[in-house]
Every structure is written in structure tokens, then in C-alpha cells.
A and B are shown apart, each in its own frame.
Chain A
Amino acid sequence: MNPEFLRGQEIVERALAISRADGCIVIVNDRTEANLRWANNSLTTNGAMRSRHVAVVSIMNDAVGSVGRSVSTVDDLALLVSASESAAREASPAEDVMPLVDPADPAGEWEAPPAETSIDVFSSVAPALGEAFGQARSAERLLFGFAEHIMTTTFLGTSTGLRLRYDQPTGRVELNGKTGDRSRSVWAGVGTRDFADVDIAGLVAQVSGKLDWGSRQVDLPAGRYETLLPPTAVADLMVYLYLVAEMREADEGRTVFSKRGGGTRIGEKLSSHPVNLRSDPHEPGLETGPFLATEVSGQGTSVFDNGMATGRIDWIRDGELRNLVTPRWWAAKSGVAPTAYVENLVLEDPTGGKSTEEMIAGTDRGLLLTTLWYIREVDPQTLLLTGLTRDGVFLIEGGEVTGAVNNYRFNESPVDLLGRMTEVGHSERTLPREWNDFFTRASMPTLRIPDFNMSSVSPAS
């Protein structure tokens, strides 16, 4: 490695030493990643990447200048600090000004080198995939998918003496199987921290089983159906709800969480089931950074809150809306406790213990979905979302899956679904299908919806 290349910790210390601003925040993200992608039982792309992003946020006369760059050398760093200070000098005072966060106990060992990954993380996954491709070829089936591992080490330092560091592993595998004529398609996916727990044969078995379910094809029209939404589908809907769960927007009357007549819906029962929707950086298996690190304000976060501890937060408790995302300055204005986005999400009903299989067995006639796709907001006032079912809609009759049904476009609001669901299953680790390129850490139950709105048929398979 180039001898001029600076360690992340050195970048933080040197930038803070050079800074002439009233306040300064330095965030270094050192990232390594490796990936494999395949289609039609063969590799398509791959890669091993290393990158660094350094953000310097300067605060001068209550104005903020935020500049982020790839930085390798001392000269790069000096230019970055100076660009950040120029930006602050040219800016008008910020609305979200607060004192910077006080030093806290370090979240990780500050001086340790950054965590790294490499292509070798797939040393057992790649041969297992190769074997699965061979089997798929002989069975006249096609496999598609993606495996990725990312290690990000974040170093955060501020002019108030705060030094925090966190190593975040993020991994995912998606396996999509199709019949040789591509008329039927199914999916299985998992999130992982280190690939040690990834069972390729298990994923292949899930995919094969679902393709077998589809040997009987049933065409059904649009309409409202009793529907089991599996954990991955619930995750995609709840992540959407989470992303609009902001206090300021709600206070201003601009979201589904705004109350008629003014104020927010905090305190309102959204569900008659005792469900909890929460985030917790220490959630077992879903661990994520226990402090806020952001180089830009907006959308529920403030640069002044960098380093703020993010503990367990109940967004919904016992079916009641309890918290919305609130930066410190807005919290101070509105007299509530500050909260921040945490990169995991858990929905659970402490009284709901049934597995998806048990919920299928308890269904007389209904639909079982696999995943949802292309979910977009139609009406923000109700959080009405549209999207498609994808990779397997199955017909349940008499407690058993009896065939595969065509895909649908749906129009539904996740807030309404919380109010209409009639059964909540056991919460389990799941990979959100639609949002897993930025959100992989979720635990969700299967939900039973008595009247899910399948707006029209999609001919897609």
C-alpha cells in the first residue's frame, strides 16, 4: 500500500487538527465488498471493490458546510477541510443548530484496523452454486441471483472530543429459480453477517419446492382475497412505512401520521393486535451501528446529532403509534425525546407464535404470496402503495397449497393493513426483496389479510 495512504483514524485526527471552524465533524467510511452475480445457470458479473469516503462537516456562525470525497493523502485531506470551511462561510445559518453531542463511551476499539472482506468469502458458496447450476441444468430449470458481502468501518470524530467507531458487516444472497420455459418463477433470499450461516443447498431446496407447487396453474381474476403475506413481503411494506415515519412532516400535516385538526397520530391505536414495530441496534443477528453518523441534514436527521446514541425505539407498541423519527432540534421545539433512524426493523406480536406453514394449514381458501415488487406511493395522505406480486402467488385450499396463481398489481396501505390484519404469525429474520440493496436487517411475521386488494392481473411470470 502507498506509504502516503492515511488510516481512517489519522484522517479524523488530522482533519480536526487542521479545522478552524467553530465546530467540526469528520466521518470516514472505509468499505470493502465482494460479489457474484449469475443468470441462466452461469456467472454474469463479479467484483472486488475497495473504497473510502470522507465527509467533513464544518460549522461556522451556525452555518453548515458539508463536503464528502474519496481521500487518500494528506494533501487531499487539507483540500477537503478547506472546501468544507468555504462551503460553511458561503452558507446561511442552519435551522437545525444544536450543540454538538458530548463524548460517549466508544462503541468499538478505536485504534483497530478497519474490518475487511474479500472474494474469498465465497470460497464455499461458489462451488455450492456451481453444483446447484449443474443440478438445475439436468432438471431443465434455470437459476439466477446475487451474492454480496460488504464490510464498512465507520470512524466518527468531532471537535467536542467524540470518537466512535463501528464495523458493519452486510451480506445477502438471492436465489431466483425458473422453469426451463421461464413460465414460472420463484424466489428465496437471506441476509447474513458473514456467510458462515448461508446454506445454498437449503435455498435451492426452497426454490425447487416452490417450483413444484406451480405444477398446477390456476388463473384467478382481480379482486379482494384472503391473503397470507410472508415475512419478506411484510418487510418491504413496513420499511416503506418506516421511511415516512418522520415527526416534522407529520407535525406539518403532510403524512399519513398527521392528525386531522393538527398534530400527529402518536397515541392512536393503529392495530387491535398487540404488535410492536421497533428498531434496536443490539437486536440479536440484526446488529447495526449504535450511534448516528450522517454527513447531511434532512429527512429526519441532523448533522448536529452526529454521535447521538440510538438505542431501542418502539415506533409502534401494543398496536399504538408511539414514536416518530425526530432530530434533537425538532424534539426540543416540540417537547418530545429525540430519535433517529436505525438500520433494522422488527415487527412482532408477542402473542403470535404460528409459523407460515401453520397459518397455511389454518386457511380454508386464500392466497399465499412470495414477494412484492416495484412498490411506489400512490397517495401519501393514506400511504396508499401500489406494486406487484412476484415470484409465486399460490392458491391455498383446505389448508394446503394446491397450485400457482397468476401475478397481480395491488393497491394497499401498510397502515391500513395493520388495522385490518386478522392474524400475526411468528416473527423471523427475513430479507426484504425490494429494498435489500439498502435495507437487509429485518425480522417480520407472516400476516393474514382478509381482503387484500388485487387491483388487476399482471401477465408477468
Chain B
Amino acid sequence: MPDVDAEFTALPLRQLADAALSRAGELGAEHADLRVERVRSQNVGLRDGRVESSRDGEEVGLAVRLVHEGTWGFAAGMEMTVDEAVRLTEQAVDVARVSAAVNSDRVEFADEPVYADATYVSSYDIDPFGVPEPEKLALLTDFCERLMAADGVDHVNASLYAVKENKFYADLAGTTTTQQRVRIWPEFVAVAVDRAQGGFETMRTVNAPIGRGWEYLTGTGWDFEAELAELPELLAARTKAPSIEAGRYDLVVHPSNLWLTIHESIGHATELDRALGYEAAYAGTSFATFDKLNSLQYGSPVMHVTGDRIAEHGLSTIGYDDEGVAGQQWDLVRDGVLVGYQTDRNMARLMDLGRSNGCAFADSSGHVPVQRMANVSLQPAANGPSTEELIGGVEKGLYVVGDKSWSIDMQRYNFQFTAQRFYLIENGRLVGQVRDAAYQATTTDFWGAMEAVGGPQTYELQGSFQCGKAQPGQVAAVSHGCPSALFRGINILNTVTEGGR
């Protein structure tokens, strides 16, 4: 396991914590924590094999969050000095005082053991920030040139987004954690332009953004060589594909598409802060309200969904959350019934749920921790079918691969998704791609129509770097594992008809 970067541990972390926490104690705070974060990022964009944009970033800062007379106070700054830590503590108390005018709910925390000096480093082999730039660019350029050289490819877009995140956390109860996570998100898109007819089509790789290092680009966890080799053919087939006839179809959905449907219709819907209304004015609420816990029939009996902060290579995986709660795994939906939520310490206490399951997270020192999504994953069936076997059971349907367009309402009922590829299934066999399809459904109808989930051999960990929530806006990375799955009788739209053409 790699060590936490020495540059981060060389910051005066413990002096800052001592200064902030002792001042918070003097000012009468019931709870106080100090967080120091360093987020390194690299973004590279290539267009037709040439670097179009490239940027390295590093944001470092510190924040004090406290509870004073039952009200939150939060202040964030950037100077790594004892004076600044004390100033921020005093400012956070001021913020609590101004805010008391609008607060009527006293903040209290669910219990959690104290972790005196804990360290966590995520699972990766090669730190992407340690790989020489020319080596990284040579590989990305080579991948782009392979696509450019293929018949029918007019343009190629490629991007690489890598992040290394360090967090130090210390609270009044005595927990102190130091953590490091690495994640990477490469993507390649081939574009075909029909100038005469004025149309264009794209085809993107369906690899996942994932909690791994540079090794992900060179054969560990994904076979880019193989996928890039078949991408031009897949694009060409799409440009020639017939337009879909709207109507009801059975769907076999591959993990590269299903993850996003899970994210939107289960991941967000089982966030307790949404169910309680904390996001009502922005990200939205949830149809899965608290009174329905242990009774709501979310989907068919084959539906088993877990939340976790511990899956290896998971984007939401971490040792301890931003309230000092250790990573766990728990059930959200079991036998098709809603049985759990994602929580933080204040909500767990408020709703009498026992221990927090560790979902408090801030995307930087500049933002306050809020409840953010765990890795929310659909479990495969032990000894379950292969994807081919699922397809074999469909008379008239579509096989859906790779996410593309997505949208869902503010209570997580009505959604519409498109895909990189829709293949028509006739009598248990794939007969080629179709164009212009979108699937539209209501969450509980869709999951209720899930007849079968694939076996562990179909399971993939997919995910996103860019889940947005909260005001001020925060982004979080999250993974979703799932098998291929079979859904009966889903409504398919023709998007050209939808556009009135």
C-alpha cells in the first residue's frame, strides 16, 4: 500500500487541530472539528490527437465546523497557520450566532467510537501524478491516433481526469484521521460527420471512472486496446442503423448503462437528507419518504441493493467520513423492499437510526460536509445467468450498453435515459444497432419489471466523478456496481419523433 504523501503530512496538521479545537472548547462549542484538505487534479483534453487543454490544479485549505448553542457554524480559509485556525474558529462561532435567528432544530450527533490516530490510503498501484507527463501524453496520443486512422472516423475527442485527495480530520471527541485517495477517468469518443446530410454520430468508450491509478490505462481493470480496436466499427454500425420504432420492449441492460439508472433512481432516492427535505429547494426530495421505511415495494423480489464505503476501487470508498465515522456496508433494498438510507451523524440521531453509516462528505476544505452518496450497488444473483442467457430469454427487446443522456425528476419518479448503443433483440438474438431510442419509466415500475439479474460474472463497477448536490454546489465521485439485468415491457421513445420531426 502506498504511503500518504510526505508533502501533506509535513503540513502543521496537529498544531492547527490543537489551536482550533482548544479555542472551540473555550468558546463553549458542543462539537468542533478541523479539516485540512489538499486536492490535486489533472485535466487533459485532446482533440484529433492534439492536446487542446491541459491543466494541473492543487487546492489546499482548512476549515472549522462546530456546533455552538445547538446551531452549526462553519468557516474556511487557506493559510496553514495557528493564527488562521484560531481566527476561523472564532468566525465559525460568529456564523453560528448570526444563523441562530433562523435555526429551530438543535444539532446533536449519533455516537461513534473514537479513532485516535487512524490512517487510510485507497487501493491503487501507480500514482498518476508520479508518471512523467511525456509518458502519459504519448499513450493518450497513441490511443487517439489509432482511432483517427480508422475508416469512418472524422474526429476524436479524448480526456483524462485524475485526482489525488488528502484529508486530515480532528475533532473534540479525540478522533484524528489522515487519508489519501486516488481516482482516474479516461474517456475516448469517435465522431463521424455526414456533411452532405448535415448529421453526425458519436461512439464513446464505456470504461468506468474508477478508484485506481495510472495502471488502469495500461491493462489493469480495463482492456482499452480491445475497446479502441472495435470502436470505429461500432460507430459505423450506428451511422447506418435504422431508427427505432417507439413502443414497449424488454430490455437487457449492461452495467455500463444500468449504473446511472441506479445512481439516479436508487442512489439519490435513498439519501436521508433528501427524504427529510434538506435538498428540497435544489437537488430535490425523494418519493421514498421515511414513513415508507421497511414497507415500500421498491422493485421485484430479485432486487437487492447495498450502500457501502468499503468496496475496493469504489469512488466513494474511504476509511472515515468527514465526521470521523468508519466505512461500512449496509442494505438499502432487500427482497425488493426499502430497508435503509444513507445517513450522517446528525440525521441518524434525529431519526433514531443508531449509528451513522458514514456518508458525511465535503468535496474540499472550502465546503461544509453534507450527506453524500455511498457506493450504491445492485447485487448479482449467485449462480445467476450470463448476459447472453438474459438476451436469450427475450423475444422482442433491446440490449442497452453505455450511458449517454440522463434526466430524472426532483422526487426521483420519472426518468429518461439514452445509451451509447441500443441493439435490437429478436427471438433471443442480437440483430444489430438501432438509433434514436430513449427509455422512459417511473422508478418503482421499472424496478418492479426487473425479472432477472445476471450472475457475478456479469458484475462491473461503474460510476461518476461528477455527482452534484448541495448549495453551494459540491461534486462527489461515486461508484455503482451491478450485473446485467432483464426488464420486461419498458416504454421506448423515438427521440426524433419527440423532437417533432
Asked if A322 is at the interface of the complex by the 8 Å CB criterion, the answer is: no
* A326 interfacial by beta-carbon distance below 8 Å: no
Question: Given A36-B99, A298-B52, A384–B59 Cβ distance below 8 Å?
Answer: no
A135 sits at the interface (CB 8 A)? no
In the assembled complex, how far is the CB of residue B29 from the closest CB belonging to chain A, in whole angstroms?
A: 15
Contact B409–A407 (Cβ < 8 Å) = yes
* CA–CA, A329 and B50, complex, Å: 15
- Contact A374 B410, CB 8 Å, known A35-B472, A44-B278: yes
> Does B223 lie at the interface of the complex (its beta carbon under 8 Å from any beta carbon of A)?
no
Question: CA of A133 to CA of B411 in the docked complex: distance in angstroms?
Answer: 23
Q: Could you say which of A106-114, A238-246, A333-341, A450-458 contacts chain B?
A: A450-458
Query: By the criterion CB–CB under 8 Å, are A52 and B72 in contact?
Result: no
- CA of A408 to CA of B285 in the docked complex: distance in angstroms? 17
Contact with A along B80-113 (1 / 0, CB 8 A): 1101100000011011101101111100000000
Closest residue on chain A to residue B138 by CB atoms: A92
User: Is B130 engaged at the interface, CB distance under 8 Å to the other chain?
Assistant: no
A69 to B254, CA, bound (A): 40
Decide yes or no whether A119 CB sits under 8 A from chain B.
Answer: yes
B75 touching A377, Cβ below 8 Å: no
Stretch of B142-150, B173-181, B188-196, B301-309 contacting A (4+ beta carbons < 8 Å): B188-196
Also in contact, A376 and B405, with CB within 8 A (given A43-B99, A388-B414): yes
Our pick among A47, A261, A299, A379 for the contact of B499 (Cβ within 8 Å) is: A379
Contact of A45 among B91, B368, B412 (CB under 8 A): B368
Indicate which residue in B281, B414, B438 contacts A187 across the interface (CB closer than 8 Å).
B281
- A253-B198 in contact given A69-B59, A90-B132 (Cβ < 8 Å): yes
Give residues of chain A (252-269) contacting chain B, Cβ–Cβ below 8 Å.
252-254, 258-262
**A55 CB, min distance to chain B CBs, angstroms:** 8
Contact residues in B for A381 (Cβ distance below 8 Å): 198-200
B414 touches A258 (CB 8 A): no
Is the beta-carbon distance between B102 and A68 smaller than 8 angstroms? no
Instruction: Mark A141-182 against chain B: 1 for CB-CB distance below 8 A, else 0.
Output: 010111010000000000000000000000000111010001
Q: How far is the CA of A296 from the CA of B102 in the complex (A)?
A: 41
Counting CB contacts under 8 A, is B219 at the interface?
Answer: no
When C-beta atoms are compared, the residue in chain B nearest to A455 turns out to be B498
| A148: contacting residue among B73, B411, B438, B472, CB under 8 A | B472
A374 touches B407 (CB 8 A): yes
Q: Which residues of A contact B51 (CB under 8 A)?
A: 91-92, 94
List B contacts of A187 (CB < 8 A). 281
Contact (A437, B471) CB under 8 Å given A47-B74, A68-B57, A296-B54: yes
Q: For residues 247 through 266 of chain B, which have their beta carbon under 8 Å from a beta carbon of chain A? A: none
Chain A residues 75-104 with CB under 8 Å of chain B are 83, 87, 90-92, 94-96
Query: A374 touches which one: B63, B73, B408, B496 (CB < 8 A)?
Result: B408
Cβ of B199: which chain A residues have Cβ within 8 Å of it?
381
Contact of A359 with B by CB under 8 A: no
Residue of B45, B193, B198 most packed against chain A (CB within 10 A) = B198
A258 vs B154: C-alpha distance in the bound complex, in angstroms? 15
Known A43-B71, A48-B74: A174·B281 in contact at CB below 8 Å: yes
A37 contacts partner chain B, Cβ-Cβ < 8 Å: yes
A39 within 8 A of B: yes
B56-A66 in contact (CB<8A) = yes
Cβ contacts under 8 Å, A68 to chain B: 55-58
The answer to whether A48 touches B405 (Cβ under 8 A) is no
Collect the chain A residues with CB atoms within 8 Å of residue B222's CB: none
From A72, A174, A416, A456, contact of B500 by CB (8 A): A416
B197 interface contact, C-beta 8 A: yes
Cβ contact within 8 Å between A375 and B407:
yes
Chain B, residues 39-56, CB within 8 Å of chain A (1/0): the string is: 000010101001111111
Interface residues on A, range: 35 or more
Which residues 282-304 in A have Cβ within 8 Å of B in the complex? 295-299
Contact: A69 with B58, CB < 8 Å? Answer: yes
A409-446 vs B, Cβ < 8 Å mask (1 yes, 0 no): 10111001000000000000000000001100000000
A65→B44 CA distance, assembly (Å)? 11
Chain A residues contacting B98 (CB-CB under 8 Å) are: 46, 119-120, 122-123, 126
Cα distance, A39 to B284, chains bound together (Å):
11
Partner among B52, B56, B281, B416 whose Cβ is within 8 Å of the Cβ of A409 = B416
| A49 proximity list for chain B (CB < 8 A) | 63, 75-77, 366-367
B414:A409 contact, CB within 8 angstroms: yes
Given A94-B51, A376-B407, A390-B410, also A50-B368 (CB < 8 A): no
A127 interface hit (Cβ, 8 Å): yes
**B286 vs chain A, min Cβ distance (A):** 10
The reply on B280 being an interface residue by CB < 8 A is: yes
Please determine whether B81 and A42 come into contact, CB atoms closer than 8 angstroms.
no
Whether B329 sits at the interface, judged by CB under 8 Å, is no
Determine if B407 and A87 form an interchain contact, defined as CB atoms under 8 angstroms apart. Answer: no
Give A241 to B58 CA distance when docked, in angstroms.
Answer: 32
Most chain-A Cβ atoms within 10 A of its Cβ — which of B98, B132, B155, B442?
B98
Interface size of B in residues (CB-CB distance below 8 Å) = 97
- Chain A residues with CB under 8 A of B84: 2
State whether A261 and B198 are in contact (beta carbons under 8 Å apart), knowing that A378-B405, A409-B440, A453-B500 are contacts in the complex: yes
Q: Is B501 an interface residue (CB 8 A)?
A: yes
**Residue in contact with B59 in the complex, picked from A35, A53, A83, A451, CB distance below 8 Å:** A53
In the complex, what distance in Å separates the CA atom of A278 from the CA atom of B45?
A: 29
Q: Given A39-B278, A46-B95, A47-B75, verify A459-B414 contact (CB < 8 Å).
A: yes
Question: Within 8 Å CB of B103, what residues of A?
Answer: 42-43
Residues of A within 8 A of B55 (CB): 66-68, 295-296
Contact B81 A2 (CB under 8 A): yes
Least CB distance from A56 to B in Å reads 10
In the complex, A272 has a CB within 8 A of chain B:
no
> Once the chains are docked, how many angstroms separate the CA of A49 from the CA of B35?
14
Q: Which residue of A lies closest to B197 (CB)?
A: A260
Return chain B residues, CB-CB under 8 Å to A407.
409
CA distance A412 to B470 in the complex (A): 27
How many Å from the CB of B41 to the closest CB on chain A?
9
Q: Which B residues lie within 8 Å of A227 (CB)?
A: none
Residues of A within 8 A of B137 (CB): 90-92
A416 proximity list for chain B (CB < 8 A): 499-500
Bound-state CA distance A95–B287 (Å) is: 50
Please determine whether B74 and A259 come into contact, CB atoms closer than 8 angstroms: no
Q: Considering the chains assembled together, what is the distance between the CA atoms of A219 and B199 in angstroms?
A: 39
Taking the closest CB of chain B, its distance from the CB of A91, in whole angstroms, is 6
Closest 6 CB pairs of A and B: A260-B198, A298-B53, A460-B411, A176-B281, A458-B414, A144-B281
26 contacts between A and B (CB under 8 A): A5-B79, A39-B280, A40-B105, A40-B276, A42-B104, A43-B71, A44-B278, A48-B74, A48-B91, A50-B76, A51-B77, A66-B56, A68-B58, A70-B78, A72-B80, A91-B51, A95-B52, A123-B98, A253-B198, A260-B197, A298-B52, A374-B410, A375-B407, A379-B496, A455-B440, A460-B412
Residues of A within 8 A of B (CB): 1-2, 5, 33-53, 64-70, 72, 83, 87, 90-92, 94-96, 119-120, 122-123, 126-127, 129-130, 133, 142, 144-146, 148, 174-176, 178, 182, 185, 187, 252-254, 258-262, 295-299, 373-382, 384, 386-388, 390, 407, 409, 411-413, 416, 437-438, 451, 453, 455-461
Given A175-B281, A258-B198, A460-B413, 17 more pairs with CB closer than 8 A: A2-B79, A44-B278, A49-B366, A91-B54, A119-B95, A122-B98, A144-B277, A174-B282, A253-B154, A253-B198, A254-B191, A377-B405, A378-B418, A378-B498, A378-B499, A437-B472, A460-B284
